[in-house]
Amino acid sequence: MGSLFAELARQASTNARREVETYTREVPEFGFLDQDPRARAETLEHSVWLRHRTVELSPDNSELSDDDLGYIASMGELRAGAGMSLDSRQLVLRLHTALMLREINEATDAQRGGGVDELMRMMTWFAPQGERGIGAYRQGFVRVLRRRMPYTEQVALLARSLLNDDPIAAELAAAVDMELPDRCAVTVFRLPDPPAVDRFLENEIETLVKAHQVPVMWGPRGGDGSGELIALVPLTPGAAAAENVPPPTAPDLLPDLAPGHLPDLVRDFARALGRPCAVGTATAPLPGLADALDRARRISRAAPLGPASARLRPYALADVFVELAVGDVPFVDGWLRSLARQLDSGPDLMLTLDVYYRHDMHRGTTATALNVHTRTLDYRLRRVRELTGIDPGSTQGVRTLSAVVTRHLSGAWR
């Protein structure tokens, strides 16, 4: 055994104790080790064992055995059984890797710059075997979650891990029988009046998750009591092409478009939620889902609130980019709101403009949708022009009054 490996073996117990102390200090969920001597001894035993196996296997670049991986997986099971969260699990893995690298550097320094060949052999072993060990730990962790957690909680955990770009997502996806795509449409249902999450709603959501094969999770409650449901809708290359989504060579264009298969999913989930909501969506590759969630949230806040019916549709950046910009410029938003107040005196003028623009300003289909005669429609549009000084059918009217309608329907001015 070379001198570097001998130094690591000599320091194994000391380094293992330092690791346990670091966990206790840096990971709140490990605080119980100070009150549970048996759990502390088990954690220390595992840390010492792992360091000895590293020293035994790395000189000849030997792989961790199946028994070794099984033991590591059992530690993952132990942590999951104790209720460790995914965030704490990820922090533990980061701390462990950082400490192991520090120990290797300290042992190298103790040789006064010697043992370069041994250091290279150690690092050649450390990367692939470290990855195998972490994979075994994740598998053990997920095995316990699968046994103990309801299906909807497992799915929510998968959604959270994807949004955090946590590698455990692969194991969680397998546990709930889902495949991970390359891209997702992060879709946010904004609920000003969220429902109580009772068992009936959970059962409804579980049925839809299995039917649509989408991870979903409840978002945090807002200070105003509003809530949100977040769905990560898979995008396959074939589906993207069929829906006219730009190819991966133009990722900057993707957030501007809502995938064509989203309306059915939105309709089904909105009906299950059973109350008005606004839906925003943004697409991104898996490593970028957190940013896509931020965009989808902003879009959902700018999008109109709609009924829990088939008419509700998802909005993308291309649909509300004007309203998003307006919301950040108070004096412009104030001007649009003043126009909305002027329309309050007319007969259903805001509703008429909404339907008019949704039907591309076609008088016949607009009148039919409103169930009024075209002469009545013309009167209302003329009244809008009289009150605001803006012709609804002009370029200025489309730019200005459509933004007024969308801001009004989003609930931003309540």
DSSP string covering 143-210, please?
Answer: HHHHHHS-HHHHHHHHHHHHHTT-TTHHHHHHHTT----SEEEEEEEEESSPPP--HHHHHHHHHHHH
Q: Are 291 and 284 in contact (CB under 8 A)?
A: yes
How much is the pLDDT for 254? 43
Mean pLDDT of 315-325: 91
Query: Residue 248 pLDDT > 50, yes or no?
Result: no
The answer to whether residues 239 and 374 belong to one domain is: no
How much is the pLDDT for 223? 77
How much is the pLDDT for 258? 55
The answer to whether residues 54 and 132 belong to one domain is: yes
The answer to whether residues 230 and 265 belong to one domain is: yes
Q: Is residue 125 situated within a structural domain?
A: yes
Q: What is the phi/psi pair of residue 21, to 5°?
A: -65, -35
Q: Is residue 156 situated within a structural domain?
A: no
How much is the pLDDT for 199? 77
The answer to whether residues 335 and 310 belong to one domain is: no
How much is the pLDDT for 30? 86
How much is the pLDDT for 251? 43
Mean pLDDT of 176-181: 90
The rounded distance, in Å, linking the Cα atoms of 117 and 108 is 11
Tokens standing for residue 157: 């955990």
Query: Residue 285 pLDDT > 80, yes or no?
Result: yes
How much is the pLDDT for 255? 46
CATH classification of the domain holding 38: 1.10.490
The answer to whether residues 205 and 312 belong to one domain is: yes
Q: Is residue 161 situated within a structural domain?
A: no
Lowest pLDDT segment from 230-234, 235-239, 379-383: 235-239
The rounded distance, in Å, linking the Cα atoms of 63 and 129 is 7
The answer to whether residues 251 and 197 belong to one domain is: yes
Other C-beta atoms lying within 10 Å of the C-beta of residue 57: 16
Query: Residue 252 pLDDT > 70, yes or no?
Result: no
The answer to whether residues 283 and 350 belong to one domain is: no
Quick one: pLDDT band at residue 239, thresholds 50, 70, 90? very low
The answer to whether residues 47 and 108 belong to one domain is: yes
The rounded distance, in Å, linking the Cα atoms of 194 and 208 is 18
Closest C-alpha to 215, from 253, 248, 166, 250: 166
Mean pLDDT of 184-199: 88
The rounded distance, in Å, linking the Cα atoms of 342 and 353 is 13
How much is the pLDDT for 202? 85
Query: Residue 235 pLDDT > 90, yes or no?
Result: no
Q: Is residue 385 situated within a structural domain?
A: yes
Q: Is residue 377 situated within a structural domain?
A: yes
The rounded distance, in Å, linking the Cα atoms of 205 and 209 is 6
pLDDT in tens, 327-377: 889 999 999 999 999 998 877 999 999 999 999 999 999 999 999 999 999
Quick one: pLDDT band at residue 237, thresholds 50, 70, 90? low
How much is the pLDDT for 243? 42
How much is the pLDDT for 244? 43
The answer to whether residues 41 and 137 belong to one domain is: yes
Q: Is residue 277 situated within a structural domain?
A: yes
How much is the pLDDT for 201? 82
Tokens standing for residue 193: 């009046």
The rounded distance, in Å, linking the Cα atoms of 305 and 18 is 55
- CA dihedral (312, 315, 321, 326) positive or negative: positive
Find residue 217's DSSP bridge partners. Answer: 230
Q: Are 159 and 205 in contact (CB under 8 A)?
A: no
pLDDT in tens, 63-112: 999 999 999 999 888 888 888 888 888 888 889 999 999 998 888 888 76
- Kindly write down the DSSP assignment for every residue of 305-320, as one continuous string: PB-SSTT---B-HHHH
Q: Is residue 247 situated within a structural domain?
A: yes
Average pLDDT, the chain: 87
How much is the pLDDT for 241? 40
Per the structure, the count of domains in the chain is 3
Q: Are 74 and 143 in contact (CB under 8 A)?
A: no
pLDDT in tens, 30-56: 888 888 888 889 889 999 999 999 999
Q: Are 339 and 388 in contact (CB under 8 A)?
A: yes
Query: Residue 208 pLDDT > 90, yes or no?
Result: yes
Q: Is residue 301 situated within a structural domain?
A: yes
CATH classification of the domain holding 392: 1.10.10.2840
CATH classification of the domain holding 306: 3.30.70
Other C-beta atoms lying within 10 Å of the C-beta of residue 168: 25
Q: Are 16 and 103 in contact (CB under 8 A)?
A: no
C-alpha 403: how far from chain center: 29
Radius of gyration for the chain, computed over Cα atoms and rounded to the nearest angstrom: 29
Domain ranges, residue 265? 181-321
Last residue of a domain, one of 287, 321, 355: 321
Last residue of a domain, one of 267, 299, 321: 321
Find residue 283's DSSP bridge partners. Answer: 185
Query: Residue 256 pLDDT > 70, yes or no?
Result: no
Quick one: pLDDT band at residue 129, thresholds 50, 70, 90? very high
- CA dihedral (305, 311, 317, 322) positive or negative: negative
DSSP state of 233: E
% of the chain with per-residue pLDDT over 70 = 92
Find residue 277's DSSP bridge partners. Answer: 306
The answer to whether residues 291 and 362 belong to one domain is: no
Other C-beta atoms lying within 10 Å of the C-beta of residue 48: 18
The answer to whether residues 49 and 85 belong to one domain is: yes
The answer to whether residues 134 and 185 belong to one domain is: no
How much is the pLDDT for 188? 96
How much is the pLDDT for 4? 87
Last residue of a domain, one of 321, 340, 355: 321
Q: Are 363 and 378 in contact (CB under 8 A)?
A: yes
